[in-house]
Amino acid sequence: MKMTFRWYGKEDPISLEYIRQIPGMKGIVSAIYDVPVGEVWPMEKITALKEEVEAAGLELSVIESVPVHEDIKLGKPSRDRLIENYCQTLRNLGKAGIKTVCYNFMPVFDWTRSQLDYRLEDGSTCLIYDEEDIAKMNPLSGELSLPGWDSSYTKEDMKQLFDDYAEVDEEQLWENLTYFINKVIPVAEEEDVLMAIHPDDPPWNIFGLPRIITTKENLERFINLYDSKSNGLTMCSGSLGADRNNDFVDMLKYFGDKGRVHFVHARNVKLIGDKSFQESAHLSEKGSIDMYEVVKAMHSFGYEGPIRPDHGRMIWGETGKPGYGLYDRALGATYLNGLYEAVCKSNK
């Protein structure tokens, strides 16, 4: 496996120099953040990002993400133009030598949590999803601002989106995803780009909005939409593992054996209710996911692709973007590399 680290570009308080110092670190996961969703990423911006990463002695391994415009998810008439823009961005990325793209198809909200700074017993803080707190929230109030929420939406924009999605159930969302995949994957094949859809986080419907990339059955349905290696998955332990009905290790091995795992997000979560969880240290004993078994599963199907330590706690007084501090994610990377070395040596 290839260890990578999420980096948010020049605005990220964590420097590429510091990331490079993490033992075993090979690559960077990043994106172009100043191009409006739905517009083509200019070649010069892609090249500039790649050159900046490579100048620091690292590889631009994964683009996470090229966002999918809401009009595509809604199946609006404008989607053909937006999908063509998306395809041109993929052509530009392919020509720049960037061969893995992570994206998601979650309506309106990306990953969602109810609290940013839940304090654990050891004094560190983490992201948490509490089912009761979420149930009390009103996304149309115009007052909420949480991770995964696009802060550019006005109160009126949000109301319009919810009105639009009132006509979209899970099956309609599947139809719109199928339309998108059938247009995009042939271009990805031409450019030798691996598309890796990210599971919904959390993997269930929220605020009445449909979510479909949630279970083993639905991931199987997804890869069968278009039979191509380019149509693959980001396997996120923290997203899929948040549902106690999902056996993440089984899912990882199953889709890995099919050659459809193109990116891995390694994050641990501690399940504290039916649909409530808190993010924990990567160490297996701290969460509900056995990271040793996760790494062993990847080794079993010969995974050589990128993996990144996903959200971490905020520790040692570090401040900044919740879940994206340097220290705990660096500890996570080192832990995962140690597990991988142990698994490799035990299988010789």
Distance CA 232, CA 262 (A): 6
Distance CA 30, CA 27 (A): 10
From the list 86, 165, 303, 324, the catalytic residue is: 324
Is 324 one of the catalytic residues?
A: yes
Is 118 one of the catalytic residues?
A: no
Is 192 one of the catalytic residues?
A: no
Is 236 one of the catalytic residues?
A: yes
Distance CA 229, CA 232 (A): 6
From the list 310, 328, 335, 340, the catalytic residue is: 310
From the list 201, 236, 262, 282, the catalytic residue is: 236
From the list 265, 282, 303, 335, the catalytic residue is: 265
**Secondary structure (3-state) at 270:** strand
Distance CA 233, CA 222 (A): 9
From the list 165, 311, 328, 340, the catalytic residue is: 311
Could you give phi then psi for residue 230, rounded to 5 degrees? -65, -20
- Angle ∠(136,239,284) on CA atoms, nearest 5: 115
Tokens at residue 310, please? 């996903």
CA-wise closest residue to 235 among 274, 194, 205 = 194
Q: CB-based burial of residue 343 (10 Å sphere; 0-12 exposed, 13-18 middle, 19+ buried)?
A: middle
According to DSSP, the β-strands at 276-280 and 125-129 are antiparallel
From the list 69, 165, 198, 243, the catalytic residue is: 198
Element (H, E) at 2: strand 2-6
User: Would you put residue 201 in left (φ > 0), alpha (ψ -120 to 50) or beta?
Assistant: beta
DSSP code of residue 127? E
H-state helical runs in the chain: 16-20, 43-55, 70-74, 79-95, 131-136, 155-165, 170-190, 216-223, 237-240, 248-257, 291-300, 326-346
Alpha carbon 59 to its chain centroid, in Å, reads: 19
CB 51 within 8 A of CB 85: no
Q: Which residues participate in catalysis according to the annotation?
A: 198, 236, 265, 310-311, 324
